[in-house]
Amino acid sequence: MWKFLIAAVSILTGRVAYAAPCEDLSKLALSNTAIVMVQTVEAGQFTAPATGAQNSDFRDLPAFCRVAATVRPSADSDIRIEVWLPISSWNGKFQGVGNGGYAGAINPGPLANALRRGYAAAQTDTGHAGDGRDAGFAFGHREKLIDFGHRAVHEMTVKAKAIMKAFYDSNPKLSYWVGCSTGGRQALAEAQMYPDDYDGIVAGAPGNNTAQLALHALAIAQASHTSEASYIPPSLYSFIHKVVLEVCDGLDGVKDGVLENPKTCKFDPQVLECRSGADRSNCLTPVQVETARTIYDPSRNPHIRQPLSLGLAPGSELGWSTMAGPEPFFYADQFWKYMVFGDPKWDYKTLNAERDMPRAADEARSRGDAADPNLKPFFSRGGKLLQYHGWSDQNIPPDNSINYYNRVLETVGRPTATDGYRLFMVPGMAHCGGGEGPNTFDMLGALEQWQEHGKPPDQIIASRVTNGRVERTRPLCPYPQVAGYKGSGSTDEAANFVCKAP
């Protein structure tokens, strides 16, 4: 009788039929889980917790059931999750959303974006509280480190689906994951370790090879601070970037302030070296030239004897303060301090690759690093993976994504990978967004078309939007293809470009 009444009300109000009222979810029993809050949020009435977000950002949200829970799969686990369930117009699907940095909080922004598209959605703090820049939670807490590495996201996914089943009396017909940076690493960890969790995955700029990436970052920091003279001040970044564009911008056939394919840019920082008597506000000293070379190629750092292949790409210069600024990149520094050496006083200048890298690699693997290229179990069940990476990424070298993509192709075979995997490199985009190139695009929409309608993306249109106005559109092409100008029409319109072999 109760379900009949609910169904009748749903017809009259437009609300989706559910198995129980939102508040009844407080009584739901799930293994290792405590439901700590259940709240019906009326349309436009969501108030963000102390995140700095303005309520006006959420006034367009539909009514939803908000569930918060704590999951404890181990004695030292304390994983917080939130699940947002649309009360009306549920599209029948579930979206897991990723984190950034070292996580430590639940961000309502990505949950709201999923809700706007009709998804039920969930996010986790990955098992600890923090501001995303501090890995101190890992010091002496092996289980929390495992939670952060992979277990928290899997637990969140399993528990969110159970909560959805209880609320809607239905499992999601499809489940998608969307994340960038740490969220991109989480995406690949899900595909590798829990291939049944998601039907489709968007992995942006994944930091999925933590030990190697942390080594690269500190190689750049060491080179930048070998001496006071080796440091390149931020005031010179725009000058270096301008010279890079002068040398390489036209190689793709269009001078537009963006490098379509930085791989073709054979830029030698030697051209930046000051001539005798030159004004040093627009040139580099010889030792600064060597620092620049290390930024592009960390294997040049004399402190890092192990050959390395990854560096920041030409075109990334405006964001060099992340790796080559006054302080080392926080993510890398915290990784070595707390996850490798367990020493808050450890000094990055003492890092020695030959001595320390094996220990770091073992640590990364033990907590569930996401570098395994064997995605056969995920692909075999029809899973689809879209990965993207900005060519001007200042946090995670873009070659990291290219290297992983190539390793997957070698491991599973090109036909299998082609059926389920696409990589899109984004010219001019910085880490997960921003930058000088078109950086607004709908990866999830492309993934939906592929998974639900069998239409693999042969291109994805990206836009550059300034003050609400679209200034430029450009096709993003599946790697290794690049966008080539057809030779006529505006170079600010995607229709005048075609994806082709480089």
Which 3-state string (H, E, C) describes 276-288? Answer: CCCCHHHCECHHH
38 vs 498: CA distance, rounded Å: 50
> Taking residues 279-284, what's their average pLDDT?
84
Which residue has better confidence, 465 or 298?
Answer: 465
139 vs 141: CA distance, rounded Å: 6
Q: What is the pLDDT of residues 226-247, one digit of tens each?
A: 999 999 999 999 999 999 999 9
The yes-or-no verdict on residue 131 having pLDDT over 80 is yes
Cβ 45 vs Cβ 60: under 8 Å: no
- Name the residue with tokens 């092409």: 477
> Taking residues 29-33, what's their average pLDDT?
98
Pairing of strands 79-86, 93-97: unpaired
> What pLDDT is recorded for position 422?
98
Q: Which residues pair with 470 in a beta bridge?
A: 465
The yes-or-no verdict on residue 12 having pLDDT over 50 is no
261 vs 480: CA distance, rounded Å: 10
> What pLDDT is recorded for position 11?
35
For residue 16, name the pLDDT band (cuts at 50, 70, 90): low
> What pLDDT is recorded for position 346?
97
Would you please indicate which residues are annotated as catalytic (active-site) residues? 181, 393, 431
> What pLDDT is recorded for position 335?
96
For residue 162, name the pLDDT band (cuts at 50, 70, 90): very high
> Taking residues 242-255, what's their average pLDDT?
96
> Taking residues 430-435, what's their average pLDDT?
97
The yes-or-no verdict on residue 203 having pLDDT over 50 is yes
Cβ 84 vs Cβ 109: under 8 Å: no
The yes-or-no verdict on residue 224 having pLDDT over 60 is yes
Amino acid identity at 381: R
Report the percentage of the chain scoring pLDDT > 70.
92
For residue 55, name the pLDDT band (cuts at 50, 70, 90): low
Distances in whole angstroms, Cα of residue 60 to Cα of each of 48, 89, 110, 202 = 13, 14, 14, 25
Output the CA torsion sign for 133, 139, 144, 146: positive
**What angle in degrees, to the nearest 10, is found between the helix axes of 353-366 and 210-224?**
150
DSSP string spanning 357-405? HHHHHHHHHHTT-S-----HHHHHTT-EEEEEEETT-SSS-THHHHHHH
> What pLDDT is recorded for position 18?
66
Q: How many CA atoms lie within 13 A of 437 on its CB side?
A: 32
pTM of the full predicted structure? 0.94
> Taking residues 461-471, what's their average pLDDT?
95
Amino acid identity at 180: C
Of 212, 191, 213, 168, residue with least CA distance to 374: 191
> Taking residues 340-346, what's their average pLDDT?
95
